[in-house]
Structure 1
Amino acid sequence: MKKENFTSVTYFVLQGLSGVPQIQSFLCVLFFLIYLLTLLGNSIIVVTILLDNTLSNAPMFMFLSHLSILDMCYTTVTLPKMLSTLLLSDRSISYTGCFLQLFFFISFGQSESFLLAVMAYDRYTAICYPLYYMDIVTKRVCVSLTVFSWFSGFLNSALHTGLATRLTFCSSNQIDHFFCDITPLLKISCVSTLLNEVVIYVAGVFVVFTPFLCILVSYVYIIHAILKIPSATGQHKTFSTCSSHLTVVCMFYCTVLLMYMRPASYTQDYDKIFALLYMFVTPLLNPFIYGLRSKEVKKAFKKVLKMNYCR
């Protein structure tokens, strides 16, 4: 049997969002502003929590600071390269650079999935077991849950990235996306991607559906506990402590499920829109959602500003 001659791919070409120069210039300015606002908003959340002793010692806000760090990280993994593509019209990315981008993007995204479940558990404990909250959610438990969230994301990413590096790309190096994501890479592989797709779905049960299920179960108990509160004012006040987290969860998981939990062969053009929502819009809105809805964060931020102004 004649051995098939495979050409080794040394770089990939990202198709990007648009090939129209006028639109590219507009998109470059737009996403640059989004990137700056994302870094600014999340940095304010992190710095405010670190400088305020009350917030830094509260589990909910410690988890929030890590959420903001994750938002900045996985936006930074993709957006600078996207901006350079729009600005310089250089759509190429090295083989190594592509898989590094894939690894860190999956890592930070999956870590956020686990962290959102941890935050739901924190709210569940605070509302359903308020008298035992400080005994259950100790500093040691908080650190352990946070480390678990980060480590699980990187471990899952190592699995997907490792399997992706075993693929052969011979027919095309054109990635129909604006960054190196797992699904577009599977589409241009000239060998079977069945194993990769099976692992995506099996791992998805553990790293997407399991945290999401934990969040749903937590909120069932939370809502049940809130309904037992006799006064409407008390119900509203208690639920307001969860509303920010619930909003972020809805935005995060809706886009993730639409992007990944389907066969690679059925990927549609509007995947890029879901990716934009997932990577740029959600991290941009997160600090505003928490900052505007959390009286503690607003109070601490004003306190920090006042301290710096007095200096």
Structure 2
Amino acid sequence: MSIPVIKKQLQKLSLEEVSEVLSKGLKSNFAEVSVEVVQCPDLSKAPWELAAPGLGGSPRIAEAGGVRNLTPLPKFEKIYDMKELAKLVDLPNALLIGAGAGPFPYVGVNSELIPNLKANKPYSNQSRTVKLCDKNNEKTVLAKLPSDESRCGLMLNFYACEGSTGPVIKVKAKKRTGDDDLVGCMRKALAEAYGTKPVGVGGTFLMKTGTAKLHVMPDFSKVPLVTDEDVNNWLQYFLVQGPLLFMSVFLSHDPGLEFRLEHTHGYSNVDGGHYHYDTTPDEVEYEGYFNVAEFVYRIDKPN
């Protein structure tokens, strides 16, 4: 049985135009901001650790599955292979980064996934998972997936490209003065500038200093999670000290796809999870590289 896929073209915008919009938005929320179009450095090197050198070549964003595969009770049959997802977005050799749920048949429990995979030519899997490992859900375990474990469970938001070097948007922001987190601030700036014309962005960023609030999903709930409050009470929250490396996907407006508008996961040397915001505005410093998507794909939208 084939997996349903909806593909929509996004408006063509220059990186220079988008960088100006992001700069304006970030300056309303951070004391020190720099946004510029640069040649992408080799992001396969430390501290970035991507599975390919760059964010260039046929950029696109996608969502497979979704939260409704988790709630009210998990749909355990919803397992996706990231190599196959690359084919479904018409890039069989794609670099694929983003945020999702881990491959529970391998991990043994529910977990957060930080996907970071080059699907082919050459194949490379640098993906991580974060799970809770004690009965009180107070301790997390960060682990690198084996090279041949390319699955994810239930949901995945990802940015895909050929992984080539080329022009990208470099963002630096320091000392938060407003209430918005880095990703939320950038997404809001695009939404205000372009309204109902969706703009999709993907990339990676470092939180060099400061502390971030993250969550990690516990093992699957045996009690139905019916409301947002149920989900929020079920999640386990942690404060994690930087430096942290994040993979992020965001869309300024949902064009009727039931598309999650922002999803960001990341990790440090010992911890990781789903990014909410930094909690140390005076200390925080971000640096990242982003590209603008040409297409958006909705894969296997829950019924």
TM-score normalized by structure 1?
0.24
**Normalized per residue, which structure has more helix?**
1
**Normalized per residue, which structure has more strand?**
2
